[in-house]
Chains A and B, each alone.
Chain A
Amino acid sequence: MLTAITGAIESGIIYAIMALGVYLSFRILDFPDLTVDGSFVTGAAVAATLIVSGVHPLVATCLALFVGFIAGCMTGLLHTMGKINSLLSGILMMIALYSINLRIMGRSNVPLLNQETIFTNVQEWGTKIGLEPAVAKTWGILLSMTLLVLLFKWFTDWFLQTEIGLAIRATGDNPRMIRSFSANTNLLIVLGLGLSNAMVAFSGALIAQYGAFADVGMGIGMIIIGLASVIIGEAIFGTKTIARATFAVIGGAIIYRIVVSLALRAQFLETGDVKLITACIVILALVVPQMVRHQREKKYKEEKRRERAQAFVAAAAERGEGDVAVKRNL
C-alpha cells in the first residue's frame, strides 16, 4: 500500500510537468492541443534512443525538451500559417508524430534496463553521500523530481508575468485586443505551443527513464490525463493567481495518480481499465462542479423567495389585520 502511494506520488510529480504543459495550451492559450499524445512519446523516444546510444541522460533529456518544442511549434504553424482548425492541427501533428516516433526509436519499444538514467545518477549520488541504496532511490527520486517540477512551476509563473508572457495570456483571453496593442498573436501561439510541448516531451523523457522503457503507445490518452490533472487541481486548489493555478495543476497531477492507483487496487479492475477510469474522473470533474453550482443557486433562490414572502407577510401585518383578511378572501 505504502509503496503504491509513494510510486503514485513519484510518477505524479513527473506527470505534473506534462500537466503544466497542458495547462499552458488549454488554459492560458485557450488552445485544445492534442499534439500532447504524440509529443509525450517523442520526448520518451528521443531520450531513450539517445541514452541507449551512449549519450549522457541529462543531455538526452534536454534534447527531448527541445524536440518537443519543435513539435509544438509545428502545430502552431499549422494553425496560424495553414489556417487549420486548432483541434485538427493537433490531431494531424499527433498522427504525424506517431510515425516520427517509430522512426526515432527504430522499433516500437526501447527498453532502458541496466542503462544509466537520470534516476540511477541520482541514486548513485545519494549513496555517495552515505545513504542506503534503497533510501537513496526513493528519497533521491522524490526530492530531485520535486525540485525539478518546482523549477518548471517557477519558470511558468515567471514567464507568464513577463511582457511576452502577458501577451500570450491575452492571446488566449482576447486576441483582438492584444493585436490592437501590436502583438503578433500568430507568433505568440506558436511560441506558447512550443513551450507547452517542450514540457510535455520533457515529462515523457523522464517517464521513460522512470519506467525503464519507451513505447510508441505510451502517449495514448495523455491529453486526457493532463486535462484531468488540470481540472482536478483547479477544482480543489483554485485559480486565483497564476502561481496558485500552477500549484493546483501540480497537486492535481499527484492526486490523479493516487486516485488511479487506489482504484486499481479494487479486485474487479484491471490495468487496462486505467483509461476508462481516467475518462470517468474527467467526466466527474467536469459535471460535478456544474451540479454543485446549480444546486447552490437553487438553494439561494429558494431562500430569497422565502425571505420575500416573509417580508410581505410582515408588511401586511403592519398594515393591519383587515388587509390580510381581504387578501385571504381573494
Chain B
Amino acid sequence: MWLLLPKGVKGMLQLKGIYKIFHEGTPDEKIALQNINLTLQKGDFVTIIGSNGAGKSTLMNLISGVLFPDEGTISINGQDVTMMPEYVRSRYIGRVFQDPMAGTAPNMTIEENLAMAYARRQKRTLRRGVTKKRRDDFREALSTLHLGLENRLQTKVGLLSGGERQALSLLMATFTEPDILLLDEHTAALDPARAELVTHLTKEIVARYQLTTLMVTHHMQQAIDLGNRLIMMDKGQIILEVDEHEKKSLTVEKLLAEFRRIRGEQLASDRAVLS
C-alpha cells in the first residue's frame, strides 16, 4: 500500500531524466518529453511558457499521476512517487485545469464541492461531508474570493459563471494547503477581466499559503510578472531556465530574443500573448 508522506519541512518536487513517448514503436510515435530535469524548492513559484505541443501539459500530467513516465523518476518531499497512482498522489497535489468545467462537480452545491476538496487530506469516511462547523470554514474561505459566493453555499456549481467556477476551483485546489500546486493555463478560457481576477487570486493565494507552484501560461507578461522562476519549453525539452535573480530584469523582448538565439526561429505558438 502507498503510505502518506510526512509533511516535511522542505517540501519539494524533483524530476530526474524524464522521458515520455506516446505510441512508441508505431508510425505515430511522438516523443513528448525528453530528459527533463527540474527541481522545485519549497515555496518556489515557477512559470512555464512554451510553444504548442512543447509538452507542458504532459509534464503536468506526469507530476499529477494521470500519466506515467517511460523513464526517469519523480519525487515529492523526498519520496519517490513515480508510479504512485493519481488518487493517492493527489492528496498533496492541488490542480486547476484549463477548462473551468473540469475542476468542479456541476450538479453538486458549492458547499458539497468544498467538502470534497476538504476531504482529500484524510481517508474518506461515513462522517457527514458538510457539517455546521465546516460550513463556517467554507464561508470564511469563500469570502477571500470577494465574489459573494459565501452567500450561495447551496447553489449548484453548474449555475456559476466560468470565472466564478474557476475561482472556486482555485480555492478548492489550494485551501487544504497542498505540497504542490499545478496550474495548466487556468486563465486561458476566461475573458480578460475574469482572467485578471483569477490571476490576482492566484497570486494572493500562493503567497498566503507559500505554495510550491508550477504554472503553465501562454501569456508571456504574466509568466514574467508571477513567480520567482521561469522555464521555457520547446519540443519536449526545457530550453531555458531563468532563476530568481535574472527574472527580476526579464522582459518579453528579452525572452523572445533568447528563444530566437537558442532555436534560431520564431516562437511557434499561435496562442502566445506578447503583452
Interface residues of A (CB under 8 A from B): 159, 161-167, 169-170, 173-174, 176-185
B226 within 8 A of A: no
Q: Which of B106, B126, B172 contacts A162 (CB 8 A)?
A: B126
Closest beta carbon of chain B to A246's beta carbon, Å? 15
Chain B residue with the shortest CB-CB distance to A188: B124
A170: B residues at CB distance < 8 A: 105, 108, 116
The answer to whether B124 and A177 touch across the interface, beta carbons within 8 angstroms, is: no
The answer to whether A179 and B127 touch across the interface, beta carbons within 8 angstroms, is: no
CB pairs A–B below 8 angstroms (21 shown): A162-B125, A164-B124, A164-B126, A166-B108, A167-B116, A167-B119, A170-B105, A170-B108, A173-B106, A173-B107, A174-B105, A176-B102, A177-B105, A179-B87, A180-B90, A180-B93, A180-B173, A181-B90, A181-B119, A182-B88, A183-B87
The answer to whether A173 and B108 touch across the interface, beta carbons within 8 angstroms, is: yes
Known pairs A163-B119, A174-B104, A184-B85. 12 more at Cβ < 8 A?
A161-B128, A166-B129, A167-B124, A170-B108, A173-B105, A176-B102, A177-B103, A180-B64, A180-B86, A182-B88, A182-B91, A183-B124
Closest beta carbon of chain B to A24's beta carbon, Å? 15
B112 within 8 A of A: yes
User: What CA separation (Å) do A170 and B127 show in the bound complex?
Assistant: 17
**Contact mask B69-107 → A, CB, 8 Å, 1/0?**
000000000000000011111110101010001111111
A184: B residues at CB distance < 8 A: 85, 87
Q: Which of A159, A161, A169 contacts B105 (CB 8 A)?
A: A169
Given A166-B115, A173-B108, A174-B104, A182 and B130 contact (CB-CB distance below 8 Å): no
A169: B residues at CB distance < 8 A: 105, 107-108, 112
Q: Which of B64, B91, B126, B172 contacts A163 (CB 8 A)?
A: B126
B117 within 8 A of A: yes
Number of interface residues of B (CB under 8 A): 34
Q: Which residues in window 137-166 of B have CB below 8 A to A?
A: none
A159: B residues at CB distance < 8 A: 126
Closest beta carbon of chain A to B264's beta carbon, Å? 39
User: What CA separation (Å) do A185 and B101 show in the bound complex?
Assistant: 18
The answer to whether B90 and A182 touch across the interface, beta carbons within 8 angstroms, is: yes
The answer to whether B102 and A174 touch across the interface, beta carbons within 8 angstroms, is: yes
The answer to whether A178 and B107 touch across the interface, beta carbons within 8 angstroms, is: no
The answer to whether B102 and A177 touch across the interface, beta carbons within 8 angstroms, is: yes
B120 within 8 A of A: yes
Chain B residue with the shortest CB-CB distance to A175: B105
Chain A residue with the shortest CB-CB distance to B107: A173
A165: B residues at CB distance < 8 A: 129
The answer to whether A179 and B124 touch across the interface, beta carbons within 8 angstroms, is: no
A163: B residues at CB distance < 8 A: 115-116, 119, 124-129
Chain A residue with the shortest CB-CB distance to B154: A241
B112: A residues at CB distance < 8 A: 166, 169
List the 9 closest pairs (A to B, CB-CB), nearest first.
A173-B105, A163-B124, A182-B90, A166-B129, A181-B120, A182-B91, A182-B120, A170-B105, A184-B87
User: What CA separation (Å) do A181 and B64 show in the bound complex?
Assistant: 11
The answer to whether A161 and B130 touch across the interface, beta carbons within 8 angstroms, is: yes
B107: A residues at CB distance < 8 A: 169, 173
Closest beta carbon of chain A to B135's beta carbon, Å? 13
The answer to whether A178 and B125 touch across the interface, beta carbons within 8 angstroms, is: no
Chain B residue with the shortest CB-CB distance to A165: B129
Closest beta carbon of chain A to B186's beta carbon, Å? 13
A179: B residues at CB distance < 8 A: 86-87, 90
Closest beta carbon of chain A to B245's beta carbon, Å? 34
B64: A residues at CB distance < 8 A: 180
User: What CA separation (Å) do A173 and B106 show in the bound complex?
Assistant: 7
Most buried by B among A170, A180, A185: A180
**Contact mask B198-241 → A, CB, 8 Å, 1/0?**
00000000000000000000000000000000000000000000
Closest beta carbon of chain B to A191's beta carbon, Å? 11
B87: A residues at CB distance < 8 A: 179, 182-185
**Contact mask B5-41 → A, CB, 8 Å, 1/0?**
0000000000000000000000000000000000000
A178: B residues at CB distance < 8 A: 105, 116
User: What CA separation (Å) do A189 and B201 show in the bound complex?
Assistant: 35
Chain A residue with the shortest CB-CB distance to B122: A163
Most buried by B among A170, A173, A181: A181
Closest beta carbon of chain B to A239's beta carbon, Å? 9
User: What CA separation (Å) do A174 and B103 show in the bound complex?
Assistant: 8
A182: B residues at CB distance < 8 A: 87-91, 120
Chain A residue with the shortest CB-CB distance to B115: A166
Closest beta carbon of chain A to B213's beta carbon, Å? 16
A166: B residues at CB distance < 8 A: 108, 112, 115-116, 119, 129
Q: Which of B93, B104, B126 contacts A177 (CB 8 A)?
A: B104
The answer to whether B127 and A162 touch across the interface, beta carbons within 8 angstroms, is: yes
Closest beta carbon of chain B to A261's beta carbon, Å? 34
User: What CA separation (Å) do A163 and B116 show in the bound complex?
Assistant: 7
Closest beta carbon of chain A to B191's beta carbon, Å? 23
B173: A residues at CB distance < 8 A: 180
User: What CA separation (Å) do A176 and B61 show in the bound complex?
Assistant: 12
User: What CA separation (Å) do A51 and B97 show in the bound complex?
Assistant: 55
